Structure 1
Amino acid sequence: MTFYKIASILPLCVLMACENGPNFAELCEQNPEICLEFQEDTWCKRERIAVGFANLADKVEANDSNKFQQLIAYEGYAKCMAHASKIEHIKLKIKKTIRINNVMKAQEKIKEISLATRNSEHPDLLFFHWSRYLNEHSLAKFVALEGNELLEKPNRQVNLASFYAKRDPNKTLKLLYHALELYESDATLDTEIFKSIASIFADKKEHKQAYIWSKILHLYNPEDTNITDKSLDSYAKGSGLNHEFLDKVANSTLNKIIAGKFKSPHS
């Protein structure tokens, strides 16, 4: 079973500028030092913009929450640019050098912010330092927050679930369900939750539930190549399932999640 170690989706206001905030061009005009951090490149623009707004948010108000968003933004940029740096340019090989330099700058910023936040009590940073650096002290503090209002957010329930994944599948399932309960209507959903729930049921050989949650994943993100109409049909036939009925259950369940009205069957 696989989980994202930590939620990597930045808030919409970080990616696209808050409704009343500047757009990226205005950000660069008003804060040139932010936009001059990396050498200009045509690749990874979305990730670079995310870094820019994360840095602006921290500049306006430096706090642990914004530091966490910086770390996630820099990680996203470094990962994207590391891939881009592997692409050889026949005519402009200097591009590869620029991209490698940008990767190194991002990695240095990650180290810098990580060092500055290593003693943070912020839930997301506690899990970050465990998942990235195997900081047992941070993990212990994070797990100790179980049941605390501070963990009543979808990504934090997913992170807690990842801790219990190999220890207690039933508790893991309960936490993943609760993560879905915590989503507000029309929020962007973490599809790893669907994958993980389906995986748990597949391991338990509960084929109906495994099918339902795989179908939910396919309905919500049809571009995910892990699940296709063909693979779902094959699974249903191989397990002797009434896929027409289960498809209705999957549709109904997903609609409740999207509407922010999902209730855990383990409640």
Structure 2
Amino acid sequence: MKRTLLTLFPLLIMSGCDTGPDLAKICKESPNICNDFIEDTWCKTERRDKIFAKYALQQSGADKQKYNLLIAYEDYAACMEHASKIEHIKLKYKQRNRIDNFAKAKQRIEELSEETKNSEHPELLYYHWSRYLNNTALEKFLAMEGSAALETPASQFHLATYYIKRDPDKTLELLFHALELQKEGDVPNKEIFKAITTIFTDKEEYKQAYIWLKILKLHDPQDETISNDNLLQYSEGYQLDGPFLDQVAQATLEKIELGTFTAPKH
């Protein structure tokens, strides 16, 4: 069953955008932030996240917020690209508007990427390596390993994406440390759960793989990569004690959510 449930996790993971006041207040105070794209019934969540990210950048000007805005633009562009392929027989202008929005989002990404290409911020260094294969950025990012600058869940995950094909054991350590750095109230990155499951499956440690697969299901019941039937088939196929491992998974997720998780020995 190797790699039958999950594939290797993607390089890109969404970082949570900073939020500020409510959307209506932002748009009233700074209409330019809200009106740079034509409003559409599609991609409302992505447009909202983009607005919050742009507002946060306007308030601080910090590189962290530039990274968040890049990610928000990417998510909006991906959504608009999909939406633009939906053909309207009667309302053709909608499709044109969506194509327009997609093109504008790609332009914003290019502009902000150019603006940040010399940044020393770890998340932007990772961004320019993962998107543009900038090896200088990668070298600077890897040189920060072990420093306080990378002691965040996001940066530990980014390090893990580099080591995933090079050193699975080190990757596990980084992923577990990312979860150790979670604070109470933070939303865990579910791609961490997918990655841990994949590594344990590859190592043929099926009990551990099941636990982390169950954690994923508990954390995000809507995730389409796993269902309760999959879990049942997995436990039966490897003759696992599903009910007991379910309890372990529940307890582990609670620790992660409370910010008290500690890495297990493996």
TM-score relative to the length of structure 2:
0.94
Structure 1 residue aligned with 2:8, among 2, 7, 12? 2
- The answer to whether the Cα contact below 8 Å between 2:23 and 2:48 also exists between their aligned partners in 1 is yes
The 3-state SS of whatever aligns with 1:137 is helix
Task: Give the root-mean-square deviation of aligned CA atoms.
Answer: 1.4
1:80 matched residue in structure 2: 79
Aligned to 2:255: 256
Match of 1:143 in 2: 142
Question: Aligned residue for 1:181?
Answer: 180
The letter for the 2-side match of 1:122 is H
Measure the CA separation in 1 of the matches of 2:59 and 2:190. Answer: 32
Following the alignment from structure 2 to structure 1, what is the Cα–Cα distance between the partners of residues 88 and 73?
24
Conserved 8 A contact 1:6-1:127: no
**CA offsets, 1:130-184, max 9 Å, x none?**
1110101101111111100111111110110010000000000010000010001
Aligned amino acid, residue 87 of structure 1? I
Q: Which of structure 1's runs of 4+ aligned residues deviate more than 3 A?
A: none
> Paired residue for 1:236?
235
Alignment of 1:10-29 (within 5 A): 10-11=16-17, 13-14=18-19, 18=20, 21=21, 23-29=22-28
Q: What amino acid sits opposite 2:134 in the alignment? A: N
1:51-130 to 2 correspondence within 5 Å?
51-130=50-129
Q: Is 1:134–2:136 an aligned residue pair?
A: no
TM normalised by structure 1 equals 0.93
1:48 is the counterpart of 2:54: no
TM-superposed deviation, 1:251 = 1.2
* Alignment partner, residue 4 of structure 2: none
Aligned residue number for residue 213 of structure 1: 212
2:125–2:137: 8 Å Cα contact kept in structure 1?
Answer: yes
CA-CA distance at 1:220 after TM superposition = 1.2
> Which secondary structure does the structure 2 equivalent of 1:112 belong to?
helix
Confirm or deny: 8 A CA contact 2:194 2:212 kept in the other structure: yes
3-state SS in 2 of match to 1:39: coil
Determine the C-alpha separation between the residues in 2 that align with 1:32 and 1:224.
35
* Aligned residue identity for 1:59: Q
Contact 2:116 2:124 in 1 (8 A): yes
What is the deviation of 1:60? 2.1
Aligned-partner SS, 1:140: helix
Q: How far does the alpha carbon of each residue in 1:9-39 deviate from its partner, in whole angstroms, 9 at most, with x for none?
A: 323x43xxx3xx3x22222222122222112
Matched length = 260
